[in-house]
Amino acid sequence: MPYDMQHLIIICGVIELLFAIPAGMILKRLGLSSWWALLCFVPVVALFGLWLLAFVKWPREATQA
């Protein structure tokens, strides 16, 4: 087996950061705390957060209403 558990944890951490950093930047632009991007590290919660983000009122929509 080419990778042991330590390598797997490092690889998964890097992949998670590739999702969390842009998510934090998007959340900051929406006026939310970028700390919510930590939800990317919990897969089921991240999926729930993505669905929630898809249906909340965005700042651009709030100014047009």
* HSE value, Cβ hemisphere, 13 Å, CA-based, for 23: 19
End-to-end CA distance of the chain: 58
pLDDT, tens only, 12-61: 889 888 988 998 898 888 888 888 888 888 889 888 888 888 888 877 66
User: Measured between alpha carbons, how far is 61 from 56 in angstroms, rounded to an integer?
Assistant: 10
Q: Could you tell me the pLDDT band of residue 10, with boundaries at 50, 70 and 90?
A: very high
Q: Could you tell me the pLDDT band of residue 1, with boundaries at 50, 70 and 90?
A: low
| Helix spans in 1-65 (H) | 5-29, 43-55, 59-64
- Is pLDDT above 60 for 65? no
Domain spans of the chain?
5-64
User: Measured between alpha carbons, how far is 16 from 18 in angstroms, rounded to an integer?
Assistant: 5
pLDDT on residue 56: 82
